[in-house]
């Protein structure tokens, strides 16, 4: 093949040209080149100067498509094929779609359109060859190489802010050579009439013949030799707008998009990322069992190959790449927000070149689900699981809904005619060919896929609960059996046999009154933090580390520091599995704790988040993996070695050091300085000073970088010596559970005396009143984080009357209690 000369820009009006270069395009060119290509051109023109890399290329125009349809006489034939049938008749839909595609594939390109496409492709080849010469003039004479390109469909009714049309048309990767490029372009034209595209346009009330198709031809990014994935500039499940969600797997990106693999997931916090910090809130390892690569020996363009176990067991990208991608997500979102004049979360595909090591953005479109939801209403699904009923399968929850119906297990798209509306679709994975039945499903369950796979994206758009990445749901569930699919219990989705009872609670939040008393929340589970942050709140009054340690870490810190000394082989194996990614095992504790606390702090940022240092009792620490080796056997752990007394003790201070290092990472590296630390069960002011000294050894110095340290007010001595404690700490939080227990001298867990436990008793109220008065006299903040205000409105009223600064409540009582306190404050004047 002889290289052609550089393609000259035509003097013909842009909307009548057959081919345009991507760097000529802007977002307003959607009618000419479709949403995908217009967005690529927008980014190349406007964001390349800001460091965002986008592969170059060209696009055929919508005029070229209509010219092709007119010259080949296809218009009348297609109208006849697509006229007058029920799209819910899957068999007929497939027959009509197959006929429409066949008409296009059997047509011949007009000569001038064929020439325009090949001239542009030849110019790409010539330019690529010249770039390889590196100044060698003798090389320039023969500088021509058949460039491998990605050929992508871009419809003129695609990637709109309120309709994604995600995956409706086809993409072809590793295309090279004249005939292959032409064939791929024609296949893209035909894909305008895939079954799912016909169905989707009809559902969205788009006329088939008002939509035209542009084809983008882009230099391939050699991610077959590296990694690729999808990212969103919004949390896809909760709509939390300050997070970037990134997914990554090995090889070309189609596997992630289609849900053929369970990818890694990373969450980055946008506000402190923009201020120069490194706020990676979460890193979740996916299996990444397959990677799509070039097929260099067979007849296909690409193929899937297994990923070695050693690669599956590590993260696909390094932290520098995670942060770079997150920065680009922010840059892209900010640009489109400014351009559109409204907040514009984005759905972005990225790829890393395995030859150059460079990252690229290969697509960007508006996110069309969370950004369209009403912001003035909270809807909560609550599942009532009968005692003894356990889930039969688990995966990644998509959304927060609950769905029910009879399971329909389908392993191949050719069998979708078996599906009946309202059933729960259970399959290995979905791609756009499944969409005609997905919209009829009561819920969707897949063995494969992550939160950005096709099944997840479409389920969100359709408002259908879905659980992806279950591994073996198609083997466990049986067609015809009733199942409940619950996405209402955090990040993990649970599938139960039978139709379990559930309820839906709806709350309007746009008209809630303000209160003088700060209404905060008690939150311990990071997986619920983004959801709970949507409730009206003034921050978190109590974030317990115990939940993160028990559920996310599971290992005693001293067992990690002294792993080689453990003698229990079973525990050693379990710890080894949990810490497989960490050469230095204590780093596992630091990393996981920092991610958990970081997620809690980010969810409510910049509102205060009061993080209580770990307050396990010795028997609870002993229940952690490896814990029994390091814990004493105490007769009364409730009053024993807990809280402050552990932190400076030689027998535990090394474990506390890991806790401090994690919290320092949250405040300093992640930039989440809204974290306030709180010391529990501190018996004397001197003990408080010893704890502060221990914290300072690890970089947590009270007063530095705005660090405040509170103390739990849960012992009678905390109240009696509140003046002295005020000299040591910045504030108090009344722990009404322990304060009531110790004031009344009873064990609230003992059935023999539990009936006497009551925060409203006169003695307890006098203790609370004294604590509030003394804190106020010393100009110290004081709140309460116990159960009492959640359970008893009269106790909440008593606290408001005493002038308490904040009341921290269980999330399910926040709105009710806010209304009651607003009414109390109004009556008080």
Three-class HEC string of 445-477:
EECCCCCCCHHHHHHHHHCCCEEECCCCHHHHC
Among residues 708, 613, 615, the alpha carbon closest in space to that of 659 is found at 613
Active site residue 327: no
Cα gap 442→459, rounded to integer Å: 10
Out of 123, 208, 327, 454, the active site residue is: 454
Mean pLDDT, range 433-442, rounded to an integer: 86
Residue 157 confidence (pLDDT): 67
Cα gap 735→716, rounded to integer Å: 11
Q: How confident is the model at residue 9 (pLDDT cuts 50, 70, 90)?
A: very low
Name 231's bridge partners. Answer: 246, 348
Residue 106 confidence (pLDDT): 95
Among residues 347, 370, 350, the alpha carbon closest in space to that of 358 is found at 350
Lowest mean pLDDT among 34-43, 787-796, 818-827: 787-796
Residue 140 confidence (pLDDT): 53
- Give the number of C-alpha atoms closer than 13 A to the C-alpha of residue 790, restricted to the C-beta side: 17
Cα gap 26→37, rounded to integer Å: 9
Among residues 193, 230, 229, 231, the alpha carbon closest in space to that of 211 is found at 193
Q: Give, as one character, the DSSP assignment of residue 435.
A: H
DSSP string, 373-387: S-SSEEEEEEE-PPT
Residue 137 confidence (pLDDT): 59
Name the pTM for this structure.
0.87
CB–CB of 249/273 below 8 Å?
Answer: no
CB–CB of 192/210 below 8 Å?
Answer: no
pLDDT in tens, 339-375: 999 899 999 999 999 999 999 999 999 887 776 666 6
Lowest mean pLDDT among 145-149, 525-529, 589-593: 145-149
Cα gap 144→221, rounded to integer Å: 19
Residue 86 confidence (pLDDT): 80
Distances in whole angstroms, Cα of residue 212 to Cα of each of 35, 120, 167, 189: 11, 21, 16, 9
Distance from the first to the final alpha carbon of the chain: 87
Helix (H, G, I), strand (E, B) or coil at 226: coil
Cα gap 661→548, rounded to integer Å: 15
Instruction: Report residue 260 CA to chain centroid gap.
Output: 18
Neighbouring C-beta atoms of residue 475, cutoff 10 Å: 12
Q: How confident is the model at residue 462 (pLDDT cuts 50, 70, 90)?
A: confident
Cα gap 760→796, rounded to integer Å: 10
pLDDT greater than 60 at residue 160: no
Q: How confident is the model at residue 163 (pLDDT cuts 50, 70, 90)?
A: very low
Mean pLDDT of the chain: 90
pLDDT in tens, 782-796: 999 877 787 788 888
Query: Which are the contacts of 159, defined by CB distance < 8 A and separation ≥ 6?
Result: 34, 35, 36, 39, 165, 365, 366
pLDDT in tens, 612-629: 999 999 999 999 999 999
Residue with tokens 């969707």: 444
Among residues 328, 332, 337, 401, the alpha carbon closest in space to that of 371 is found at 337
Residue 434 confidence (pLDDT): 85
Cα gap 339→400, rounded to integer Å: 31
Estimate the share of the chain in helix, then strand, then coil, as percent rounded to the nearest 5. Answer: 45, 20, 35
Query: Which are the contacts of 679, defined by CB distance < 8 A and separation ≥ 6?
Result: 613, 643, 644, 647, 688, 691, 709, 710, 711, 712, 729
Query: Which are the contacts of 782, defined by CB distance < 8 A and separation ≥ 6?
Result: 713, 731, 732, 733, 734, 771, 772, 775, 776, 804, 805
Residue 306 confidence (pLDDT): 96
pLDDT in tens, 727-737: 999 999 999 88
pLDDT in tens, 51-105: 999 999 999 999 999 999 999 999 999 999 888 878 788 888 889 999 999 999 9
Helix (H, G, I), strand (E, B) or coil at 22: helix
Helix (H, G, I), strand (E, B) or coil at 812: helix
Mean pLDDT, range 772-781, rounded to an integer: 97
Tokens at 248, concatenated: 């990554």
Residue 746 confidence (pLDDT): 87
Residue 458 confidence (pLDDT): 83
Residue with tokens 């502060």: 692
Cα gap 651→647, rounded to integer Å: 9
Query: Which are the contacts of 677, defined by CB distance < 8 A and separation ≥ 6?
Result: 610, 611, 613, 663, 695, 700, 707, 708, 709, 710
- Sign of the dihedral defined by the CA atoms of residues 798, 803, 804, 806, in that order: positive
Residue 46 confidence (pLDDT): 96
pLDDT in tens, 735-752: 988 999 899 998 876 778
Cα gap 728→343, rounded to integer Å: 45
Active site residue 660: no
- Classify residue 237 by burial, with Cβ atoms within 10 Å: 0-12, 13-18, 19+: buried
pLDDT in tens, 463-517: 889 999 999 999 999 999 999 999 988 788 999 999 999 998 877 777 788 899 9
Cα gap 268→329, rounded to integer Å: 10
Cα gap 26→35, rounded to integer Å: 10
Residue 131 confidence (pLDDT): 54
pLDDT in tens, 527-584: 989 989 988 899 999 999 999 999 999 999 999 999 998 989 899 999 999 999 999 9
Cα gap 760→504, rounded to integer Å: 33
pLDDT in tens, 512-528: 888 999 999 999 899 98
Query: Which are the contacts of 635, defined by CB distance < 8 A and separation ≥ 6?
Result: none
Query: Which are the contacts of 378, defined by CB distance < 8 A and separation ≥ 6?
Result: 506, 507, 509, 534, 535
Percent of the residues in the chain that have a pLDDT greater than 90, as a whole number: 69
Q: How confident is the model at residue 169 (pLDDT cuts 50, 70, 90)?
A: confident
Cα gap 630→619, rounded to integer Å: 11
Tally of residues, the chain? 829
pLDDT in tens, 54-66: 999 999 999 999 9
pLDDT greater than 80 at residue 164: no
Cα gap 591→104, rounded to integer Å: 55
pLDDT in tens, 640-652: 999 999 999 999 9
Cα gap 692→701, rounded to integer Å: 7
Cα gap 156→192, rounded to integer Å: 11
**The dihedral formed by the CA atoms of 560, 565, 568 and 570, expressed in degrees to the nearest 10:** 50
Out of 125, 470, 713, 785, the active site residue is: 785
Q: Where do the H-state alpha helices sit in 259-353?
A: 270-274, 309-312, 319-340
Among residues 410, 404, 364, the alpha carbon closest in space to that of 161 is found at 364
pLDDT in tens, 279-328: 999 999 999 999 999 998 877 889 999 999 999 999 999 999 999 999 99
Cα gap 3→489, rounded to integer Å: 60
Tokens at 407, concatenated: 């399971």
Query: Which are the contacts of 125, defined by CB distance < 8 A and separation ≥ 6?
Result: 1, 3, 144, 145, 146, 147
Mean pLDDT, range 10-29, rounded to an integer: 86
């Amino acid at each position: 093949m002889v290289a052609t000369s550089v393609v000259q820009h035509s003097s013909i009006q842009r909307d009548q040209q057959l081919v345009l270069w991507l760097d000529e395009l802007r977002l307003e060119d959607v009618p000419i080149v479709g949403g995908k290509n217009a967005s690529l051109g927008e980014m190349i023109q406007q964001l390349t100067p800001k460091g965002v890399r986008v592969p170059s290329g060209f696009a055929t125009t919508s005029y070229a498509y209509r010219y092709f349809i007119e010259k080949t006489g296809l218009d009348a034939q297609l109208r006849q094929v697509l006229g007058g049938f029920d799209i819910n008749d899957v068999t007929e839909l497939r027959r009509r779609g197959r006929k429409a595609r066949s008409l296009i594939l059997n047509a011949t390109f007009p000569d001038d359109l064929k020439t325009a496409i090949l001239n542009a492709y030849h110019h790409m080849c010539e330019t690529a060859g010249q770039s390889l010469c590196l100044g060698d003039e003798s090389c320039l004479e023969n500088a021509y190489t058949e460039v491998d390109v990605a050929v992508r469909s871009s419809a003129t009714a695609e990637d709109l802010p309120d309709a994604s049309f995600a995956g409706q048309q086809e993409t072809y990767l590793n295309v090279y050579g004249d005939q292959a490029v032409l064939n791929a372009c024609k296949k893209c034209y035909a894909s305008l009439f895939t079954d799912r595209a016909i169905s989707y346009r009809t559902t969205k009330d788009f006329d088939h013949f008002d939509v035209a198709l542009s084809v983008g031809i882009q230099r391939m990014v050699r991610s077959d030799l590296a990694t690729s994935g999808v990212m969103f500039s919004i949390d896809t499940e909760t709509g939390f707008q300050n997070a970037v969600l990134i997914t990554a797997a090995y090889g070309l990106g189609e596997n992630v998009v289609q849900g053929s693999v369970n990818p890694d997931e990373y969450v980055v916090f946008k506000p402190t990322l923009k201020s120069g910090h490194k706020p990676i809130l979460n890193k979740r390892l996916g299996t990444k069992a397959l990677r799509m690569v070039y097929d260099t020996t067979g007849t296909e363009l690409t193929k899937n190959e297994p990923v070695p176990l050693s690669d599956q067991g590590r993260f696909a990208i390094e932290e520098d790449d995670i942060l770079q991608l997150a920065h680009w997500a922010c840059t892209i979102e900010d640009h489109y927000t400014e351009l559109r004049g409204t907040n514009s979360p984005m759905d972005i595909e990225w790829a890393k070149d395995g030859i150059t090591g460079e990252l690229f953005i290969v697509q960007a479109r508006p996110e069309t689900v969370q950004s369209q939801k009403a912001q003035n209403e909270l809807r909560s699904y609550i599942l009532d699981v009968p005692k003894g009923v356990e889930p039969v399968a688990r995966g990644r929850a998509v959304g927060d809904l609950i769905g029910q119906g009879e399971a329909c297990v389908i392993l191949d798209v050719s069998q979708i005619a078996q599906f009946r509306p309202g059933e729960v679709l259970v399959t290995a994975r979905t791609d756009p060919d499944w969409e005609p039945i997905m919209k009829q499903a009561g819920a969707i369950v897949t063995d494969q896929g992550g939160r950005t796979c096709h099944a997840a994206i479409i389920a969100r758009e359709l408002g259908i609960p879905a659980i992806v990445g279950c591994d073996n749901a198609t083997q466990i569930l049986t067609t015809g059996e009733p199942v409940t699919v619950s996405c209402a219990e955090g990040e993990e989705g649970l599938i139960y046999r039978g139709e379990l009872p559930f309820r839906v609670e709806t709350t309007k939040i746009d008209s809630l009154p303000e209160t003088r008393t700060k209404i905060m929340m008690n939150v311990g589970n990071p997986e619920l933090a983004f959801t709970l942050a949507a409730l009206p709140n003034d921050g978190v009054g109590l974030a317990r580390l115990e939940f993160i340690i028990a559920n996310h870490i599971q290992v005693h810190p001293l067992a990690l520091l002294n792993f080689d000394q453990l003698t229990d082989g079973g525990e050693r194996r379990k710890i080894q599995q949990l810490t497989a990614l960490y050469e230095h095992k204590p780093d596992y504790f630091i990393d996981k704790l920092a991610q958990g606390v970081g997620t809690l702090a980010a969810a409510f940022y910049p509102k205060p988040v009061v993080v209580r240092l770990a307050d396990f009792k010795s028997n609870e620490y002993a229940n952690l993996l490896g814990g029994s080796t390091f814990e004493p056997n105490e007769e009364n752990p409730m009053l024993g070695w807990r809280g402050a007394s552990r932190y400076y003790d030689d027998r535990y201070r090394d474990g506390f050091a890991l806790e401090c290092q994690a919290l320092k990472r949250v405040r300093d590296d992640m930039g989440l300085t809204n974290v306030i630390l709180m010391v529990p069960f501190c018996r004397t002011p001197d003990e408080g000073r010893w704890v502060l000294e221990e914290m300072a050894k690890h970089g947590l110095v009270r007063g530095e970088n705005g660090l405040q340290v509170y103390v739990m007010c849960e012992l009678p001595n905390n109240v009696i010596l509140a003046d002295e404690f005020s000299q040591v700490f910045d504030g108090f939080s009344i722990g009404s559970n322990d304060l009531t227990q110790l004031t009344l001298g009873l064990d609230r867990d003992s059935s023999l005396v539990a009936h006497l436990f009551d925060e409203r008793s006169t003695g307890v109220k006098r203790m609370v009143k004294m604590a509030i008065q003394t804190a106020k006299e010393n100009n110290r903040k004081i709140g309460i984080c116990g159960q009492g205000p959640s359970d008893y409105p009269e106790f909440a009223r008593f606290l408001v009357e005493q002038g308490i600064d904040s009341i921290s409540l269980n999330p399910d009582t926040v709105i009710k209690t806010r209304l009651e306190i607003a009414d109390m404050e109004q009556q008080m004047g």
